[in-house]
Amino acid sequence: MTITITAFERSPDGGKGLARDTRVRWALEEVGQPYEVRLVSFRAMKEPAHLALHPFGQIPTYQEGDLALFETGSIVFHIAERHSGLLSDDANARARAIAWMFAALNTVEPPIVNREVVMLLERDKTWYEERLLVVEGRIRDRLSELSGRVGDADWLEGEFSAGDLLMADVLRRLNGSGMLDEHPNLAAYVARAEARPAFKRAFEAQLAVFTAATTG
């Protein structure tokens, strides 16, 4: 059955692979599933046809036969459940990997996204610098905790899993901020994830969309 995902027609991240279709592309590449991409404009995302697929009018969505999913956590989980390569067959290892998927999206991603919101929307406020420090403090707390847990391991729980895929993708949002470099093991963790052939294919595919949109 053909898998179709949606992605930005023109991603506002300039092709850096920060839009969340990248993690879905990456998961599909890891398990060797081909997929098609339907590009949507910001306007189309808020229209009824897209809202029927995604109640919040966002990307990515995932369609496979009569199944339609939204939320990257659920999409990556679905891919990992249906195909081998992202979740262990051992029940406990699988449960721990799923815990890391939730941790990536519920505990680590929110303060990182909050920083982006502050930088994007609150830069002109008199309290901007103060607020940014607070928000970055929260990120630094999480990074210290995560760094302590990762130690010198390659991945969070032995083998690379869907937990690593989501965690690394979330941490990538900090590339260029200098914050990851405060923890060399986390910077190396992200670099290791980005060096995976499946990630590179996913990154190139999203970049090709951006390049075509800006040069075509």
Ligand X SMILES: N[C@@H](CCC(=O)N[C@@H](CS)C(=O)NCC(=O)O)C(=O)O
Residues near ligand X (CB under 6 A): 19-20, 57-59, 71-72
Minimum distance of ligand X from residue 156's CB (angstroms):
19
**Closer residue to ligand X, CB minimum distance, 41 or 214:** 41
Minimum distance of ligand X from residue 53's CB (angstroms):
12
Alpha-carbon distances, residue 187 vs 149, 169, 174 (angstroms): 14, 12, 10
Minimum distance of ligand X from residue 17's CB (angstroms):
11
**Closer residue to ligand X, CB minimum distance, 26 or 183:** 26
Minimum distance of ligand X from residue 82's CB (angstroms):
18
**Closer residue to ligand X, CB minimum distance, 72 or 161:** 72
**Closer residue to ligand X, CB minimum distance, 23 or 183:** 23
Full DSSP string of the chain: --EEEEEESS-TTTTSS-STHHHHHHHHHHTT---EEEEE-HHHHTSHHHHTT-TT--S-EEEETTEEEESHHHHHHHHHHHSTTSS-SSHHHHHHHHHHHHIIIIIIHHHHHHHHHHHHHSTTSTTHHHHHHHHHHHHHHHHHHHHHHHTT-SSTTSS--HHHHHHHHHHHTTTTSSTGGGSHHHHHHHHHHHTSHHHHHHHHHHHHHHHHHHH-
**Closer residue to ligand X, CB minimum distance, 5 or 88:** 5
Minimum distance of ligand X from residue 59's CB (angstroms):
4
Minimum distance of ligand X from residue 32's CB (angstroms):
23
**Closer residue to ligand X, CB minimum distance, 88 or 105:** 105
Copy the structure tokens of residue 199: 């990630």
Letter for the amino acid at 96?
R
- Position closest to ligand X via CB: 58
